[in-house]
Chains A and B, each alone.
Chain A
């Protein structure tokens, strides 16, 4: 946060979440967050903070306040019901020996 010349604290910049696509064909993955006054600078900052070591080929920035997230309090009803449904994994097929790359 910065302080303006008359001594009052300036409004802090909004928080942005950064998603980086590591290479073509892969999905964007959450890389971290940063502060920026607007979308263009958020993108520039994300480039400087999260792709300096060739981590990515594409960046998305999203205002953190625009993200609707699941609540930790709802964790059980949200996720536990999937726990005993192993048949949802595609592990019950016989794989023909000719298929090398499955």
Chain B
């Protein structure tokens, strides 16, 4: 009888602890807004944007190589699909060619919006503006994309899982 109680307790705890870990939330409620804020910050880290800017391009690539989930992949605005390993290789090659990164250049995400949460996976969108230094030495917009961004919570920590970058049409 005593062993039976132990087994029951074990089963109950194995179900209740993970359920407690996944707090219920609906769009717009307190937990939703809090998670949106967390993921917005994860997004800025992912892109080395704002306060997460790194002066050396390779430093950002090295950070991403650690930060992205192992199964990470991305669809570029051209439609090209790349795995994590392919992206690290191509971005490292680009960083070798252009080692210095001026503040404000690269992807600048805004309008971050959490769209859906399914357990440990969160789906979001943003409007990312790409900037580079023009021949006059000024920051200039080189492209804009609406981005589907996907995050996964692994070992209690949210990490970038994937993205699809859809080029934005200019308003007519």
Partners in one complex: no
